[in-house]
Amino acid sequence: MAYFEARNVNLHFSSFHALRDVSLSLEKSDVLVICGPSGSGKSTFIRAINRLAGPLSGGAMSFDGADLARMPARDLHRRIGMVFQRFNLFQHLTVLDNIALPQRRVLGRSKAEARARAMALLERVGLAEKASVYPVQLSGGQQQRVAICRALAMDPAMLLFDEPTSALDPEMVGEVLQVMRELAASGMTMIVVTHEMGFARELASEIAFLESGQVVEKAPPGEFFAHPREERTRLFLSQILHHQAG
């Protein structure tokens, strides 16, 4: 059994069939990139993994040998972290407290311990001097790096990224991708919803292309970019690569 595995996952939003028999898997330290047009269900899929999308209407997901549906919410959220498109930093807390609060309340770490861990992570992403400011005083790229620190501070076994660079100004995309690159290099298991095809080509173990809630194609990056099997994938790639080149 793979480290993370989704088998025939189905999900409905009332009458809308958002995910249709989605089967995807990845091994420990792998990076799975999911791409697809908007409304394809790619965000819904990773939100379904940590229960932000409501219950599945069919299929199952497993993580590290355990059925995700049966895992207590606390364990699930402790082991699988998430980074959002819009960062979602707590607006009323400083950068340091954003990273320290969950560690203290969920992991039971002491204040000193949580702060030390937060500072070490901020150091790593080059934001140590921003520890005492509020999120609104940071640029989007800085906020996203803090959000990544906040997720990492919980020592997750896997990280989910929901379009982590889509809300950023172009000049800030690079700094966030750099942090993710380092994470991947350090062996973090990651599922990344993104349209950054350069990132996918460089770091993905496998790329999945979703449309209308279905997996149209999945392949290692070399194959995915060089020889896409499906016409729909070719069309999507030509549109998005043309756009990113220009």
Partner 1 sequence: MLSDAYDLFWQYQDTYLAGVRNALTAAGLGLVLALMVGLLVGMVRFTSRGRLGKAMAVYVSLVRNTPLLVQVYFIYFGLPALGLTLSAFWTGVLALTFNSGAYISEMVRGGLNAIPKGQTEAALALGLNQRLLLAKVLLPQAAPTVLPAVTGQFVQLIKDTSLLYTIAVLEITKAADDVGNETYQFLPAYLVSCVLYIGICVVLNLLVDLYESRAGFSKHKRA
Residues of the shown chain interacting with partner 1 in the complex, contacts defined by CB under 8 A? 50-52, 73-74, 77-78, 81-82, 84, 86-92, 101-102, 105-106, 134-136, 147, 150-151, 154
How remote is the C-alpha of 245 from its chain's centroid? 24
What's the closest the beta carbon of residue 55 comes to partner 1, in angstroms? 14
What's the closest the beta carbon of residue 141 comes to partner 1, in angstroms? 15
What's the closest the beta carbon of residue 146 comes to partner 1, in angstroms? 12
Concatenated DSSP letters for 179-222? HHHHHHHTT-EEEEE---HHHHHHH-SEEEEEETTEEEEEE-HH
Helix (H) or strand (E) holding 22: strand 16-26
Q: How many other CB atoms are there within 10 angstroms of residue 151's CB atom?
A: 21
Give 37 or 156: the residue with its C-beta nearer to partner 1: 156
Give 70 or 74: the residue with its C-beta nearer to partner 1: 74
What's the closest the beta carbon of residue 174 comes to partner 1, in angstroms? 23
Give 107 or 128: the residue with its C-beta nearer to partner 1: 107
Indicate if the alpha-carbon torsion angle 35, 40, 44, 48 is positive or negative.
negative
- Rounded distance between C-alpha atoms, residue 205 and residue 201, angstroms: 9
Give 114 or 216: the residue with its C-beta nearer to partner 1: 114
